A and B are shown apart, each in its own frame.
Chain A
Amino acid sequence: MWALSWWYGAGWKAQLKRFLERLDSSYDYFSIGLLLRSLFAPFRQISAGKVRGPINIQIRAFADRLISRFIGAFVRLILIVVGAAWLGILAIGGVIYALLWLVVPVLPLVGFIFMTAGWVPTWE
């Protein structure tokens, strides 16, 4: 009984907490918030910084900076998409795991029913 009360009480909560921690850790890994805040920042500071000189040099620097920002935004967007997808998969997996957790104690009963039914998968 103690095992069951832990399983459906503190145990389940602990699994939920662990799942949220994993989600948080993945969110930190993909740094989506940071990516959104710096979406248009020059990538790796390439061509960043003020350039003094004649107008043609300034225009070229502006263009370079624009390209750097564009590359940055592109790379960041890709990571945001990949990160969001991964977080989604993780969330769905977590919910399934949490639900499966609830049925683990009754699995032998399910097995017994299957055995009684006599069904087995066929490979032909």
Chain B
Amino acid sequence: MGVSFNYGAHRAAKARVGKFIGKTGHLLMISLAIVLAFGGIVLIVLANPVGWLVASLAAWPAMFAKWYVGELSDISAEASETAIEASLSSGVLAHLSKQPSPHDIAAAIGQTNEGAFYGARFGLTANFLLQIASNEQSDTAEIWQTAMDVKDELNLEHLSAGTLVYALVKQLPDHDALLAHNHMELDDIKRGIEWQEHIKQLIKHHSKPRRTGGVARDWSFGYTPLLSRFGQNISQQIAAGGLLSVDLESHADALDQLVDTFSTSGRQNSVLVGATGVGKTTIVHAFAERLLDASSKLPANLKFRQVVMLDSSSLISAAPGRGQLEDLIMQVFSEAYAAKNIILCLDDAQLFFEEGVGSVDLSNVLLPIIEAGRLRMILTMDDQRYLQISQRNSALVNALNRINIAPAGKAETIKVLQDKLILTEFSRKVTYTYQSVDEAYRLSERYVHDLAMPGRALKLLESAASYNENGLVTMNSVQQAIEQTMNVKVSVAAESDDREKLLNLEELIHKRMINQDRAVSVVSDALRRARAGVRNPNRPIGTFLFLGPTGVGKTELSKALADVYFGGEDRMIRLDLNEYVRSEDVTRLIADGADDPTSLTAQAMKQPFSVVLLDEIEKAHPSVLTTLLQLLDEGILRDIKNREVSFRDAIIIATSNAGAERIREYIDRGYKLDQFEEEFTNELINSGQFRPEFLNRFDEMVVFTPLEKADLLKVVDLIIAGVNKTLALQKVSVEVDEDAKKLLVEKGYDPRLGARPMRRVIQRVVENNVAKAILSGIVKPGSAITITASQVEETMGKAEKAQAIEQEAS
């Protein structure tokens, strides 16, 4: 027999009484007590002895009001009991009927605040639960059992609404598919239960009075007027309840190390080294909080010590002169030392050790103090800056006790976000869904490079608050925030025009590309896979090697893609690899954006959603190609500062002229592309021009065929369409006779250079004639200019003559 619910149990009955009284009843009882007490006193004053009874009767409603607050409003679980009614959260318990079906349980959950949490945070609303819950009472036992199992697994005090939500969803046979629709898994509900429990614990923790040493705590320590002026007393802020710090397991080690350093007799300083956003300042806050807590186990020489964060900018502005600043620093430090209870914190300590905007190199003043190790100091520093400073000043680094702070993992980051968001939710009047937090972690990991976790995810979530939907910050809000700030597309194509564009990509590209159907089709397929969400997210959208002679449209296809899909030709990062022929050029490829904004990594950081065109790849040095292997394989390239730069939202296109002559031979011998493509690729590998492991990294190798004269006629049309677009401002257009087009093709065709000379020829003939017609006033706005074969002959003849004279002269 499964677990069952005892409707008549005392706890259940009490819960129903509590529900019956409710907040309104409680208020009524208090009012009644006041009225009776006051009325009784008035009667007594008026010498009426009935007043005694009336006044004393106030005791009973007052007693009931106290009972409601003390017990009924939140009946605690009976720890020793394992029965459902003994541990079920009182909110749900109060709303249950005698023999509840899963549907009744869902209805009860829907009426509690606990249940509302899952509606807002997960989209598992009361209506949703009512729709999925069965009406069969025989299914209830399984619900209870599953909920009890979750309660035991998560070590909960109550059988909370969350455990029941989990059980109700799990009972549904196709729950995975249903939850996938909400972008979540069954286990995410468990994470939600933990989140809710954590919030309850936080509220409980913060509602307790703080023991922070009392009124005479600082009487044995000195006054610090200068420090108050140039620093921020974190301990005071914590004591006033202004800072919310987060207890993190990864920070526990760093905190213990700080306590160790300051409670032993060695040098009384520590430097927290870690990437920006990793939580160094948060650790300092947590340390200050621990020192203030009277109940924490700390050596007496650390208890109630105050952490003061020095403000470098106010120090510099108060003492602009060189000597003045050093004097002021010495005064501040002397004051801190004499006070005997100060731990100085130099946040972003590099500002005190290097010259720059808002920073001054005070190494000469600070080094003796740090080396002496008597003044307690905590420094925080970015790991890269720490390395730079250690190169310049090894004595300084040797005098500091280093504590490394590693970026938080996913579980910890989510915890930090959930804690920090409490304040953001309050100040921005929004509610973050669980999915939004999860999505912020995923997207920030990929797109936010200048911060470490958890700072990077938090930054994204804070900006996502501006894209809330009816007060809810959803996954969509986070996607919108990253799309707006990073100019990338991360959401699955949902807009109808976006979908239309994807479905008709080939057609759109062919508006500016002639022939090369296979090439157009493979890149279009890759894009459709990406935007439908079915591609591998840990690789670039597509990696292609375009092979073929020059002037056949390899670069043009890349430009067309950037224009049609990514929104403009400027969304193309182009690298001519014939400029990367030495092994040292690898450094240039991955240079820091601050030093070289044209490096591949710097450009991809700024514009991750783009076409990356690696032109003439066969000319690059093997070391450069080896560097590019990881990019092609995992969509990641580490820059010179070892930051991961993502290419996972880019299409990587490498072009090469290698084997162009061989392609032409095949075509001349009458082969079609599909007949020789495979053999040609094998020949290319065998020739040793590309290493097989390099070629294997590409999704597709696409051979471009040389353009024939029939194709070039279409190219002429495209170029003339471009000219007409330019002329549209002058309200004139140009038309070219068929004979003239054929003549243009004859003049512009060069089997070695493909369509490339065509533009030159057309520019010379068409644009020159149009320019003359406009200047001579032959054409009027709204009219069309027709170019004939004779005009082509005439212009080209003149050009050829000019060329001949030029050659003779030279």
**Set of chain B residues within 8 Å of A3, measured between Cβ atoms:** 63-64, 67
Interchain CB contact under 8 A, B71 and A108: no
- Nearest B residue to A103 via CB reads B59
- B residues 26-62 with Cβ under 8 Å of A? 40, 44-45, 47-57, 59-60, 62
- Given A45-B220, A120-B49: A104 and B340 interface contact (C-beta under 8 Å): no
A11: B residues at CB distance < 8 A = 66-67, 70-71
Task: State which of B50, B52, B70, B219 has its C-beta within 8 Å of the C-beta of A44.
Answer: B219
* A110 contacts B67, C-beta separation under 8 Å: no
Most buried by B among A41, A110, A111, A114: A111
B219 touches A72 (CB 8 A): yes
In the complex, which of the residues B66, B71, B211, B219 contacts A76, with contact meaning CB atoms closer than 8 Å?
Answer: B219
A58 within 8 A of B: no
Contact of A114 with B215 at beta-carbon distance under 8 Å, contacts A11-B66, A44-B222, A120-B47 already known = no
- Find chain B residues with CB under 8 A from A72 CB: 219-220
Which residues on A sit within 8 Å (CB–CB) of B67? 3, 6-7, 11
| B47 in contact with A38 (CB, 8 Å) | no
Q: Which residue of the partner chain, among A25, A35, A104, contacts B62 with CB atoms under 8 Å?
A: A104
B1 interface hit (Cβ, 8 Å): no
Interface centre among B40, B45, B56, B212 (most CB of A within 10 A): B56
Contacts of A38 in B (CB 8 A): 219-220
Size class of A's contact patch? 35 or more
Say whether A49 faces chain B, with CB atoms less than 8 Å apart.
yes
Within the assembled complex, what's the spacing in Å between the Cα atoms of A41 and B340? Answer: 12
B214 close to chain A: CB less than 8 A: yes
In the complex the two chains form, is A105's CB within 8 Å of B63's CB? yes
| A79 to B214 CA separation, bound complex (whole angstroms) | 11
Quick one: CB contact mask for A40-52 with B, threshold 8 Å, 1 for yes? 0111111011000
A102 CB to closest chain B CB, in angstroms?
A: 12
Interchain nearest-CB distance for B35 vs A (Å): 15
Do residues B216 and A118 form an inter-chain contact, with CB atoms below 8 A? no
Q: Does B51 contact A120, Cβ atoms closer than 8 Å?
A: yes
From B56, B60, B221, contact of A112 by CB (8 A): B56
Interface residue B338 (Cβ < 8 Å from any Cβ of A): yes
Known: A7-B67, A108-B59. A48 touches B222 (CB 8 A): yes
Give min CB distance, A17 to chain B, whole Å.
11
Do residues A31 and B56 form an inter-chain contact, with CB atoms below 8 A? no
**Shortest Cβ distance from B64 into chain A, in angstroms?**
6
- Which residues of chain B have C-beta atoms less than 8 A from A121's C-beta? 44
- For A10, give the chain B residue with the smallest CB separation: B71
Smallest CB-CB separation from A40: which chain B residue? B220
Closest to A21 in B: B209
B223 lies within 8 A of A120 (CB): no
Query: In the complex, what distance in Å separates the CA atom of A109 from the CA atom of B56?
Result: 8
Query: Counting CB contacts under 8 A, is B294 at the interface?
Result: yes
Q: Which residues of B contact A104 (CB under 8 A)?
A: 59, 62-63
Q: Tell me which residues across on chain A come within 8 A of B213, comparing CB atoms.
A: 28, 31, 34
Q: In whole Å, how far is B700's beta carbon from the nearest beta carbon of chain A?
A: 72
Cβ-defined partner of A120 (8 Å) among B48, B53, B54, B222: B48
Contact call B339/A45, Cβ cutoff below 8 A: yes
Q: Which residues of A contact B532 (CB under 8 A)?
A: none
**Cα distance A122–B10 in the bound complex, in angstroms:** 49
A76 CA / B217 CA spacing, docked (Å): 11
| B217 A44 Cβ-Cβ under 8 A | no
B14 within 8 A of A: yes
Chain B residue contacts of A57, Cβ below 8 A: none
- Assuming the contacts A44-B222, A120-B48, asked whether A111 and B53 have C-beta atoms less than 8 A apart, the reply is yes
Is residue A14 within 8 Å, beta carbon to beta carbon, of the partner chain? yes
* Docked complex Cα distance between A123 and B214 (Å): 46
Kindly list chain A residues whose C-beta atoms are within 8 Å of the C-beta of B45. 123
**B17 on the A face (CB < 8 A):** yes
| Bound-state Cα–Cα, A43 to B340, Å | 12
Residue of A7, A75, A115, A118 with highest tally of chain B CB at under 10 A: A115
Docked CA distance A10–B67 (Å)? 10
Q: Which of B49, B59, B220 contacts A114 (CB 8 A)?
A: B49
Distance, CA A120 to CA B214, complexed state (A): 47
B164-223 contacts to A, CB under 8 A, are 209, 211-217, 219-223
Interface positions, chain A 61-95, Cβ under 8 Å from B, are: 72, 75-76, 79
Partner of B70, one of A10, A31, A43, A122: A10
Residue A20 is within 8 A (CB to CB) of chain B in the complex: no
Closest to B209 in A: A25
Instruction: Provide the residues of chain B in CB contact with A123, threshold 8 Å.
Output: 45
Question: Which residues of chain A come closer than 8 Å to B222, judged between CB atoms?
Answer: 44-46, 48
Residue numbers in B under 8 Å from A35 (CB-CB): 216, 219
CB distance from B59 to the nearest CB of A (A): 4
Q: Which 4 A-B pairs rank lowest in CB-CB distance, beginning with the nearest? A: A111-B56, A31-B214, A45-B222, A114-B52
Some 28 contacts from A to B, beta carbons below 8 A apart, are A2-B14, A3-B67, A7-B67, A11-B67, A30-B214, A31-B214, A34-B217, A42-B220, A44-B220, A44-B222, A45-B222, A45-B338, A45-B339, A46-B222, A48-B338, A72-B220, A79-B215, A104-B59, A104-B62, A105-B63, A107-B59, A108-B56, A111-B53, A114-B52, A115-B49, A120-B47, A120-B51, A121-B44
- Apart from the given pairs A108-B53, A108-B56, A120-B48, 19 other A-B contacts in the complex at a CB distance below 8 Å: A6-B71, A7-B66, A11-B67, A14-B70, A28-B212, A28-B213, A38-B219, A43-B219, A45-B221, A107-B59, A108-B57, A108-B59, A109-B56, A112-B56, A114-B49, A114-B52, A119-B49, A120-B47, A123-B45
